[in-house]
Structure 1
Amino acid sequence: MPVAKPTIVIVHGGWHVPESYEKLVVALENSGYEVHCPRLPSTNQVRPPNADLYTDSDFIRSYVSSLVRAGRTVVAVSHSYGGAVANNALMGLGQTTRAAQGLPGGVSHMVFMAAFATAEDVAMMDKVKEAGHMDLIPLAFDFAEDNTVLSHDPKTLLVGPSEVSEEELDRYLATLVRWNGKGMYQPIKNAAWRETAVGYIYCTADMTVPFDYQKDFVEGMLKAGRSVQTSELATGHCPNLTATEGVVEAINKFIKG
C-alpha cells in the first residue's frame, strides 16, 4: 500500500491571512496533501491589538497538537514572520521526540519559505539591527501608535517582480490586513528546528526578508548541527503567489529527503 502523505500546516506571515495562500493550498491539495492554514490571532484587526507573537505561538501549538495527538504526521510550512511563530510553537512536537516518548504522530519537517529561522532569544528586529538596516524600517513599514503595521508598498516590497496578471495580483493584495508589528520585536523562546528535518526555500529577489538574511538563517542552523535541504526560487517575498509550483516541488523534494 502507498504511504499516506503528511498533513501540511501553513503558518502564515504578517499581513497575510489564509485567503492569501489559496493558490498554494489548491496546488498542494492537487498534489495529494491535506492542507491547513489557520488564521493567526495577531491578524484579527482588533485595535489596540490583543494578540502578539506569543498568542500566535500558543494558538499554533494547540492547533498542531490536536493533529499530532490524532496520530498525524505534520509538515509545518512557515512563511516570513510565520517562521518565528512555528519555531516558538512547535518545540517538543517533533516526530522523533514523540516517538521516543511512545507517542504517535509529530512534526516530521519544518519548511521555511523566506521565513525567519533563528536561535532562541532572538527577535526578528534583532536581525535587522545586526544587518545595520534599522534606517530602512520607516521606509518599508507604516507603524501606528498602537504598533499595528502595514507595508508601505506591498506590491513592490512584498510581491515584487512577477508574471501573475494584474487581476490576480490585485486580488492577492486585497487579502492583506493590518497586523500587530509588536511581533517583530519579541524574541522567540524556542527553536523547534532543532528537533525536525529542515528545508529552506530561498527567495532570491526578496525585498522584505533579503536573500542575505535567508542565507544567514540557514548558516546558523548548519552551525548548530542541523542538516538543511534548500531550494532556490528567483522570486520576491511571496512565492505562494508568484512561484507556486516551485514551492510545491521544493516541499515534495524535502519530504522525500
Structure 2
Amino acid sequence: MTDGNPDRPVIVLVHGAWHRPSTWDATRAALAGLGYETRIATLPSAGTDPSPTASMYDDAEAIRREVDAVDGPVVVLAHSYGGIPTAQGLTGADNVTQLIFLSAYLLDDGESMYSRHGMDAPADTSGTFPLPENPGLALYHDVPEDVATQAVADLVEQSLLSFTGTVTRAAWHDIPSTYIVSEDDRSIPTALQEVMAAHATTTRRWAGGHSAFLAAPERFAALVDEIIRSR
C-alpha cells in the first residue's frame, strides 16, 4: 500500500491507545483503492513486551519522523488518543497540509488528557493504563462481530505516562484541521467531542461508534477522500 496517485497527498495514519498499526489495515486498503499512499506512525506508548514506558512526547516524535520521511504533501489522520501526540508533534511541519481527527482528543496548549477530564495526574506515572472494562462494547460496538473479536484480541498495553503529557504547542493553531465527530461513540462522549471539535477548522459527522475505520472501511475512506478534496 505504498504506491499512490502522485497528485494526492500521502496520508500518515496515527492509531489510538492500546492499538497497533494493523488496526488501520482495512482502511489502508480502501484508501489505496482511491489512489492514496499511506504510512503508519507506530506509537511506542502501546506495546506488549516489555510493558511500554514511552511518553506522549515519544509518540509525538514517532509521528514527526513519519511525516518528515515523506517528500511531498502530507495529511495526518489521527484516532482517539493519537490526536494528542499529533497536535504536539507537528508544529512547524511545513509539508503537512491538513490534520484530520477522528473521535480524537484535540487538546489546546497546556492541556493533558487528565486535565481535559478535570482530573489531577497521578503522582506515580509508572505502569500501564487499564483498558475499558468492556473494550468490545466501548470501542467496537458497531463493528462486525468477527472483526471486533479480532480487534479486541489485538489490543496491547498502554503506558500510563503517555496519558499525562501536556501539549506545549498544538499544531492545529497553524495547520487546517477537520474533526470527525462520532455520534454514537461509547468511548469518548459525543458532547466532549463537540467541545474539542470547536478547535478545528471544520467539522464532519459520523453516524456510528468509536472505530469507523473498522466498522465501515470503504465508507470511512470515502469520507476521508471527500475531506481532502474539499480543501
Per the TM superposition, whether the score is higher than 0.5 is: yes
Q: Give 1:243 deviation, angstroms.
A: 2.9
Cα deviation, residue 182, structure 1: 2.2
Does structure 1 residue 216 correspond to structure 2 residue 187? no
CA distance in 2, matches of 1:256, 1:204: 23
Is 2:184 the counterpart of 1:205?
Answer: yes
1:193 equivalent in structure 2? 172
1:244 to 208, 217, 222: 217
1: CA distance, partners of 2:126 / 2:73: 42
Q: 1:119-198 counterparts in 2 under 5 A?
A: 119-129=108-118, 146-162=127-143, 164=144, 166-198=145-177
Runs of 4+ in 1 over 6 A off after TM superposition: none
Hey, what does 1:138 align to over in structure 2?
none
Give the Cα separation in 2 of the matches to 1:160 and 1:58.
Answer: 32
Relative to structure 1, the CA distance from residue 145 to residue 90 in structure 2 (aligned partners, 3 Å threshold; closer, same or farther) is closer
Q: Going by fraction, where is helix more abundant, 1 or 2? A: 1
Deviation at 1:173, TM superposition (A): 1.7
Match of 1:141 in 2: none
User: Alpha carbons of 1:37 and 1:3: their partners in 2 closer, same or farther (altered >3 Å)?
Assistant: closer
State the match for 2:82 in structure 1.
Answer: 82
Write the distance in 1 (CA, Å) between the matches of 2:164 and 2:57. 11
Q: Quick one: structure 1 residues 60 and 31, their matched pair in 2 at CA, closer, same or farther if it must change by over 3 Å?
A: same
Residue of structure 1 in register with 2:60 after alignment: 57
Q: Which residue of 2 aligns with 1:118?
A: 107
Q: How many residue pairs get matched?
A: 222
Aligned mates of 2:47, 2:68 — CA distance in 1: 22
Q: Distance in 2 between matches of 1:63 and 1:37?
A: 7
State the secondary structure of the residue aligned to 2:41: coil
Distance 1:60 1:145, change over 3 A: closer
Q: Distance in 1 between matches of 2:114 and 2:97?
A: 28
Partner of 2:48 in structure 1? 45
% identical aligned pairs = 27
Instruction: Report the Cα distance in structure 2 between the residues aligned to 1:197 and 1:179, rounded to whole angstroms.
Output: 29
Which residues of structure 2 form unaligned runs of 5+?
Answer: none
For structure 1, the 5+ residue unaligned runs are: 95-105, 135-143
TM-superposed deviation, 1:150: 2.2
1:67-116 Cα offsets, whole Å, 9 max, x none, are 1xx2x11000000011001100100003xxxxxxxxxxx00010000011
Cross-structure match for 1:137:
none
Query: 1:75 is paired with a residue of what secondary structure?
Result: strand
- How far apart are 1:122 and its partner, in Å? 0.4
Q: Say which one has the larger Rg.
A: 1
Does 2:224 align with 1:235? Answer: no
Q: Output the aligned Cα RMSD.
A: 2.0
Does the CA-based 8 Å contact 1:158-1:208 persist in structure 2?
yes
Secondary structure of the structure 2 residue equivalent to 1:249? helix
Q: Distance in 1 between matches of 2:173 and 2:227?
A: 16
Distance 2:62 2:28 in 1: 20
One-letter amino acid of the structure 1 residue matched with residue 174 of structure 2: E
Task: Give distance in 2, aligned partners of 1:246 and 1:196.
Answer: 25
Looking at structure 2, the residues matched to 6 and 236 of structure 1 have their Cα atoms a distance apart, in angstroms, of 27
